[in-house]
Amino acid sequence: MSPAIALAFLPLVVTLLARYRHYFRLLVRAVLLRGIRDCLTGLQPEERAFSYVLTNALPGDPGHILATFDHWSSHCEYLAHLGPLKGQILTRLVTQQAPECVLELGTRCGYATLLIAQALPPGSRVVTIEMDPQTATVAEKVIRLAGLDECKVELIVGRSEEVIPCLKAQYRLRQADLVLLGHRPRCYLRDLQLLEAHALLPAGATVLADHVLFPGAPRFLQYAKACGRYRCRLHHTGLQYFPAIRDGVAQLTYLGPG
């Protein structure tokens, strides 16, 4: 390409970079820098974050552990967990509804798990499912560091589509009053239908789904709005730690099988 042609495209490139600068920053932090750190350290991002939390957070204090995760994610390395703003939505729902059992799909580093557990009333529990064994190992350490025992938080390692059909028989989960979908948006619809098929949602149960606008879960949203079994509400938010990037949390209320 000649210098004259390249120069002609320069205003367009500058305009695109200015308009999508937040997405560019996310790409750099979440993909490029992460890849470099993975190669240099031989550790997963969750493992690096836990090392920081272990050094700087107060054991037995879930709130301080969450604040330490927030500091790491804001200033050191991006982690795609729920974050403080979306976390307020989750905490408010748990506090208001006082569910007996919460099911979480996608434990990641245990961030949302701690939010749920510290807002639950005595006697209630969280069952959380994580597909990746290495990530689950980190989450287990985070959960126990926060002082939460297996009666309060039970972590299951496995694929959600394989674990959900076994929840009643193998894990004594009769029904989930609140479900948090935070794993892979492309799996939300499949797993929601599995929860319905295995009668794990009582009438009035809440399903909270993260990242429904970015990267997006259009088929999930379309189904929830069209099937007639849910009352839907969309909480418009920014992406955690990147508030200028538009995202949303879907809140579904299960009306029954119909």
Q: Which of 126, 133, 95, 122 is nearest to 112 (CA)?
A: 126
On average, the pLDDT of the chain sits at 92
Q: How far apart are CA 224 and CA 218, in angstroms?
A: 10
**pLDDT per position as a tens digit, 62-117:** 999 999 999 999 999 999 889 999 999 999 999 999 999 999 999 999 999 999 99
The answer, yes or no, to whether residue 192 has pLDDT greater than 90, is: yes
51, 76, 101: which is the final residue of a domain? 76
What is the pTM (predicted TM-score) of this model? 0.92
Residues 134 and 250 reside in one and the same domain:
yes
Joined tokens for residue 75: 């200033």
- Residue-wise pLDDT for 137-155, tens only, equals 999 999 999 999 999 999 9
Residue 21 is predicted with a pLDDT of 80
Q: Can you tell me whether residue 161 is helix, strand or coil? A: helix
Q: What is the number of residues in the chain? A: 258
Count the neighbouring beta carbons within 10 Å of the beta carbon of residue 184.
Answer: 16
Counted domains in the chain: 2
With beta carbons less than 8 A apart as the criterion, state whether 219 and 225 touch. Answer: no
pLDDT on residue 5: 57
123 is in which domain, residue-wise? 84-254
Span 1-46, pLDDT tens digits: 556 555 555 565 456 556 678 788 888 888 888 999 999 999 999 9
Q: Looking at the structure, tell me whether residues 231 and 103 fall in a common domain.
A: yes
Task: Give the span between the Cα atoms of 242 and 222, in whole angstroms.
Answer: 26
The one-character DSSP state at 10 is H
Do both 141 and 244 map to the same domain?
yes
Task: Return d(Cα 74, Cα 121) in angstroms, integer.
Answer: 30
